[in-house]
Amino acid sequence: AAAQTKIDIHTDKPIGTIQPEIYGQFLEHVGTQVYDGIWVGHESDIPNTDGIRNDVFEALSVLDIPVIRWPGGCYADLYHWKDGIGAQSERKKRVNMAWGGTAEPNGFGTHEFFNFAEKLGAKTYLNVNLASGTVNEASDWLEYITFDGESDLANLRRTNGRDKPWTIDYLSIGNETWGCGGHMRATAYADQYAQWATILKTGGEQPTRIISGSHQDNIDYSAEILTHPNMSDLSEGISLHYYTLPTDDWDDKGAALGFSELEWASTIKNTLKMEAAVSDFLKVLDASQVDGDFGLYVDEWGMWVNTEDGDPSLHQQNTIRDGVVAALNLNLFHDHADRIAMTNIAQMVNVLQAMILTDGPEMVLTPTYYVYKMYRPFQGAESYAVSMNSPIYEKEGIAFDALSVSAAHNENGDIVIALVNADPSTSHDIEIPVVGDVTITGQQLYGAELDAHNSFEEPDAIQPKSLKLKAKGGDVDLTLPARSVTVLTLEKH
Ligand code: AHR
């Protein structure tokens, strides 16, 4: 039998507080995410409250979502906020040119988003339209949303049903400005960013301002933006986008279902490259003018696979592979808890690596949803350094550490440990030394096949099962099945 892997948790080496915002979500107008997935309108037969479907809202409430980024993404640079306010019957019918020229009825606009976030207890992250809007339009939007006093725009908000202002916690000026956000050179964007950041103000407390930065392969773009002499006064953070493709080919990313073991392995290998992307980016920040509080915002990440016939809805199935990819990334973010201020998985419902899939009145929770549910105790916990000699998975030239572990101390004084076995075919035994009597409770998500998933026909095919163990001094021993994510809480007596 293979040797047990010993896992040492270094409670004397705290890394930092895991910002709850690391568990952030991303809500863009794409495919059936907003319309059907969240917003069905007041007249729908699907049970809803103020137009938001009840089943999806209830499922999302369980996740303690800390923050939601809206309205895009690429769509943010086509969005004109005045199209989405006022009586539903008078909303502008537009076309979503960012995502396949689909209908954009504007039923879900500013009021719907801010009320939705408020009811979920989530902070708000607004992405303003830099590429096809004006600074004046954005400035008016901020006034409409946040101004408490007398002004025509604040009064318009009141007429439209909201007396109190809402809060914009985070603000991004532009999105992927190297691509769909305008194909700008870094210097051109830096100048425009600086101009907008100078003008844009909210009523009340100012939001954290985030520069739209790099994707994984153009870190230099961010380095150049940060050479603008005023950036440290005009911004509090910068973003990184990193998508995991099973292959390395944007034209043939790989399939959501029915993939081979080798494609599982390349997916894991590509996921683990997030570590280099984050570390390289942090080096860029260290070498720039910004100070230690300046945050890294991984405000888009997740699995991106082929959609049928180039369908622009970005709808994809979600398997245990997605669950493992989510957990590997979250562990990695915990390892950088001192520097990562927020991350937003792409995306929340029906788009890319979604928490939830819907079809008409039906709803399915994905393996990624369950990982987010299991990881809730990590929000706000203190991350610790962990060491182990992970067994290595190796096949046909692809090799990676099969195990990933993260440990933290939560507000109840318990130690929480997340263990991922990313090996597609082999289980691994672990031991965790503990002192004194401990009761261990936990949840384990395991895929019986490489592409185990929930469907509308079989909505509960994959779900976490509960674990309960005891240790009296010595070790906690556990077998981690291939393709599994386990979260344990160690309670001392
Ligand atoms: O998440 C889908 C898209 O990916 C976003 O709109 C864009 O910012 C990125 O390219």
- What does the pLDDT look like over 414-471, one tens digit per residue? 999 999 999 999 999 999 998 888 899 999 999 999 999 999 999 999 999 999 988 8
Give the Cα separation of 385 and 379 in Å (integer). Answer: 17
Q: Element (H or E) spanning 416, and its range? A: strand 415-421
Q: Separation of 116 CA from ligand 1 center, angstroms?
A: 22
Atom of ligand 1 nearest to the CA of 76: 6
Domain edges within the chain: 5-11+384-492, 19-379
**Average pLDDT over every residue of 271-292:** 96
User: From the CA atom positions of the chain, what is the Rg in Å?
Assistant: 23
Q: Element (H or E) spanning 219, and its range? A: helix 219-225
Is the confidence at residue 473, as pLDDT, over 80?
no
* Residue 390 three-state SS: coil
**Average pLDDT over every residue of 151-158:** 98
In the numeric block, which tokens belong to residue 257?
């279902």
Q: Which residue of 25, 26, 27, 28 sits with most ligand 1 atoms within 8 Å of its CB, as the best mutation to test the pocket?
A: 28
Q: Separation of 176 CA from ligand 1 center, angstroms?
A: 8
Tens of pLDDT, residue by residue over 80-114, are 999 999 999 999 999 999 999 999 999 999 999 99
Tens of pLDDT, residue by residue over 33-76, are 999 999 999 999 999 999 999 999 999 999 999 999 999 999 99
As for ligand 1, residues whose beta carbon falls within 6 Å of it are 28, 72-74, 175-176, 300, 346-347, 352
pLDDT for position 205: 93
Q: Separation of 270 CA from ligand 1 center, angstroms?
A: 18
Q: Whose CA is nearest to atom 3 of ligand 1?
A: 73
Strands 123-128 and 67-70: parallel
The full DSSP string for 321-362 is HHHHHHHHHHHHHHHTTTTEEEEEES-SBSSSS-SEEEETTE
Q: Whose CA is nearest to atom 1 of ligand 1?
A: 346
Q: Whose CA is nearest to atom 2 of ligand 1?
A: 73
pLDDT for position 308: 76
pLDDT for position 258: 98
Atom of ligand 1 nearest to the CA of 98: 6
Q: Separation of 29 CA from ligand 1 center, angstroms?
A: 11
Atom of ligand 1 nearest to the CA of 243: 4
In the numeric block, which tokens belong to residue 80?
């004109």
Tens of pLDDT, residue by residue over 116-149, are 999 999 999 999 999 999 999 999 999 999 999 9
Catalytically active residues are 176, 300
Cα-based angle 373, 376, 378 (whole degrees, multiple of 5)? 145
Atom of ligand 1 nearest to the CA of 179: 10
**DSSP category for residue 391:** P
Q: Separation of 73 CA from ligand 1 center, angstroms?
A: 5
What CATH homologous superfamily does 19-379 map to?
Glycosidases (3.20.20.80)
pLDDT band for 2, please (50, 70, 90 cuts): low
Q: Which residue of 180, 183, 298, 344 sits with most ligand 1 atoms within 8 Å of its CB, as the best mutation to test the pocket?
A: 180
Give the Cα separation of 299 and 238 in Å (integer). Answer: 9
Tens of pLDDT, residue by residue over 256-277, are 999 999 999 999 999 999 999 9
Question: Looking at the domain 5-11+384-492, which fold is it?
Answer: Immunoglobulin-like (2.60.40)
Q: Do domains 5-11+384-492 and 19-379 have the same CATH topology?
A: no
ipTM of the complex: 0.99
Is the confidence at residue 411, as pLDDT, over 90?
no
Tens of pLDDT, residue by residue over 166-220, are 999 999 999 999 999 999 999 999 999 999 999 999 998 999 999 999 999 999 9
Give the Cα separation of 305 and 277 in Å (integer). Answer: 20
| E-only strand ranges, 222-291 | 237-244
